[in-house]
Amino acid sequence: MLGRDPLTEKLKGFGTSIFAEMSALAVETGAINLGQGFPDTDGPSEVLEAAVDAIRAGVNQYPPGAGTPLLREAVAAHQRRFYGLDHDPETEVLITTGATEALAGALLGMLDAGDEVIVFEPMFDSYAACVALAGARVVPVLLRPEADGRYRFDPDELRAAVSERTKLVVLNTPHNPTGKVFDAEEMAIVASVALEHDLIVVTDEVYEHLVFLGATHVPMATLPGMGERTLTISSGGKTFSTTGWKIGWACGPAPLVAATRAAKQFLTYVSGAPFQPAIAVGLGLDDAFFAGLALDLSAKRDRLVVGLRAAGFTVYDPEATYFTTVDIRPVEPGGDGIAFCRSLAQRGGVVAVPNQVFYERPEHGRHLVRFACCKGDDVLDEAVRRLAGLSR
Ligand SMILES: Cc1ncc(COP(=O)(O)O)c(C=O)c1O
C-alpha cells in the first residue's frame, strides 16, 4: 500500500468541486439542475454544421500550436468589430482548451512562488487553484451586495490589497457568480491601481455577449494605457452554447500571450481541431445573432428572478451571465447555503450552488446561493413552481 499522500500540498483544501457533488445530487434525486451553468439547448446550426463538415473534411489532427489561423483571425476580427481593439493574429492571439486553460496558462506562465494576485471575491473556482499551483497567493477583494441589489467593491480595500509582491490582478466581467458588470467608474479604478503599481491584468470575459439591457461590457484592454498590460480571455462555450467543445482564447500584447503559451504548450499543446474553424464561423455571425442571444437570456433571467422573489428570497438582480444570486435567510433563517443546497434537492426538487465555495473568506458567502437561468422555459417554470412551495 502506498504509504504517503499523493496529493500536492498546493491543492490541499481545494477538494472535489461542489458542481460535481450538486450535479450528482440532481441525478440521484431527479431534481431540476439549476446548479451548473450550461445551456440545455444547442447553439446556432451554422456553427454545429461547420464542426461536422470539418470532421468529414479530415480536420482531425493536431492544429498549429497557437491555434488554427482561421480562428486566430476570427478572434482578432471579433475584438476589432465589437471593441475597436487591434491584435496581430500571429503573435497576439492564442487558442486554448476553453477559457479554463487560457487562465491556467496565463497564471502558470506569469507567476512565481511568493507572488501575490489580487482577485475579486466571490470568484470562479479555477483562479485560486491555478494561483496555488503556481506557488503564488490570492489576495481577495470583496464584492459586497448592497441594498440596491448591486455588488460593489470598496476602492480602499483594493488599494490596500497591493503589496510589493503583487504582480497581477484577475478581473472577471461580466462576473460569475454575481451577474455583475463592472461599470466604467469601477473599471477606471482597477486600471488606475494597475497603472500606478505596474500590474498585469488578466481579464476573464467569457460572458461578454450575455449582457442585459441597461448594462454595457467594457473590456479592460480598451481603457487608456491598459492595452499593453492586459491579457483578455474568452471562449466560445457560452456564446455559442458549446460548453463541451472547450475552445477558448487569450489575446493581448505579444509578451503576455507568449508567457501564456509557454505554459499552455505543456498543458494540452493543442486541442479541438475540428471545433476551431466552427467557432470561427460563430464569431463571424451577424449582429442579430449576438443581440438575440442576450435578449433570449434576459427573458429567462426575468422568469427566474420573478420566481425566486415570489418564493421569498432576497434577489440580487443580475446585469449579465447565466446566474442570479439570492440571500436565503428570509426562507432559511439559519442561512447556511451549503446545508440549504444539500436539502433543497430533496425538499424542493431543485439543485443550486452555495456561493461560499466562490470565496476565499467563506463567511462572506455563507447565506448566498446561485441559480442558473440558461434552461428551457418549461424547466424554469417547473423549478419556480417547486420553489414557491418552500416557504408555504
Ligand atoms: C467566469 C468563468 N470563466 C471561465 C469559465 C470556463 O470557461 P470554459 O468552459 O471556456 O473553459 C467559466 C465557466 O463556467 C466561467 O464561469
Whether the predicted model's global pTM rises above the 0.85 cut: yes
- In short, whether 239's Cβ falls inside 6 Å of ligand 1 is no
340 lines ligand 1 (CB under 6 A): no
Model pLDDT for residues 108-151, shown as the tens digit of each residue: 999 999 999 999 999 999 999 999 999 999 999 999 999 888 99
| Residue 331: count of CB within 10 angstroms of its CB | 20
Atom of ligand 1 nearest to the CA of 175: 1
What confidence tens digit (pLDDT) does each residue in 39-77 have? Answer: 988 999 999 999 999 999 999 999 999 999 999 999 999
Say how many Å lie between the first and final Cα of the chain, rounded: 53
CA of residue 99 to ligand 1 center, whole Å: 6
Distance 208 CA to ligand 1 centre (A): 12
Task: Check if the beta carbon of residue 17 is closer than 8 Å to that of residue 125.
Answer: yes
Q: Provide the pairing of β-strand 32-33 with 350-351.
A: parallel
Cis (ω within 30 of 0) for the bond into 177? yes
Task: Average the pLDDT over each of 38-47, 75-84, 222-231, 251-260 and give the range with the smallest value.
Answer: 38-47
Q: Measured in angstroms, how far is the CA atom of residue 342 from the centroid of ligand 1?
A: 24
User: For ligand 1, is residue 319 a contact (CB within 6 Å)?
Assistant: no
Q: State the pairing for strand pair 353-354/368-372.
A: antiparallel
Where do the domains of the chain lie?
9-43+288-388, 45-286
User: 164 near 140, Cβ under 8 Å?
Assistant: no
pLDDT tens-digit series, residues 160-202: 999 999 999 999 999 999 999 999 999 999 999 999 999 999 9
3 state DSSP class of 164: coil
Local confidence band at 392 (pLDDT 50, 70, 90 cut-offs): low
- Number of CB atoms found within 10 A of residue 21's CB: 18
User: 172 CB under 6 A from ligand 1?
Assistant: yes
Q: Which fold has domain 45-286?
A: Aspartate Aminotransferase; domain 2 (3.40.640)
User: If you measure from the C-alpha of residue 171 to the centroid of ligand 1, how many angstroms do you get, rounded to a whole number?
Assistant: 13
Instruction: List, for residues 349-375, the tens digit of each pLDDT value.
Output: 999 999 999 999 999 999 999 999 999
In angstroms, what is the span from residue 148 Cα to ligand 1's centroid?
27
Q: What is the pLDDT of residue 391?
A: 67
Provide the b/e sequence for 348-376 (b: ≥16 CB within 10 Å).
bbbbbbbbbbbbbebebbbbbbbbbbbbe
Strands 368-372 and 93-97: what pairing? unpaired
Q: Is 384's pLDDT higher than 70?
A: yes
Pocket flag, ligand 1, residue 271 (CB < 6 Å): no
287-311, pLDDT tens digit by residue?
Answer: 999 999 999 999 999 999 999 999 9
Distance, CA 244 to ligand 1 centroid (Å)? Answer: 11
Q: Which atom of ligand 1 is nearest to the CA of 102?
A: 11
Question: In 10 A of CB 51, how many CB atoms?
Answer: 22
**How many Cβ atoms sit within 10 Å of the Cβ of residue 207?**
25
Instruction: For residue 13, give the nearest of 138, 102, 111, 100 by alpha carbon.
Output: 138
For residue 207, report the distance from its CA to the centre of ligand 1, in Å.
8
Coil, strand or helix at 238: helix
Atom 14 of ligand 1: nearest residue by CA position: 37
Q: What is the DSSP string of 282-322?
A: HHTS-HHHHHHHHHHHHHHHHHHHHHHHHTT-EEE--SBSS
Distance 205 CA to ligand 1 centre (A): 9
Q: Is 120 in the pocket of ligand 1 (CB under 6 A)?
A: no
| CB-count burial class (<10 Å; 0-12, 13-18, 19+) for 62 | exposed
In sequence order, which residues have a C-beta less than 8 Å from that of residue 265 and are 6 or more positions away?
A: 65
Domains 9-43+288-388 and 45-286 share a fold: no
For ligand 1, mutation pick of 19, 101, 235 (most atoms within 8 Å of CB):
235
- Long-range CB pairs of 23-31 (<8 Å, 24+ gap) are 23/351, 25/342, 25/345, 25/351, 26/345, 26/351, 28/345, 29/345, 29/346, 29/349, 29/351, 30/349, 31/344, 31/345, 31/346, 31/348, 31/349, 31/350, 31/351
**pLDDT in the model for residue 37:** 85
Number of Cβ within 10 Å of residue 189's Cβ equals: 15
Assigned architecture for domain 9-43+288-388? Alpha-Beta Complex (3.90)
Q: Which of 38, 119, 176, 239 to mutate to test the pocket of ligand 1 (most atoms within 8 A of CB)?
A: 176
Which of the 8 DSSP states describes residue 211? B
Find cell 470583496 and name the residue.
142
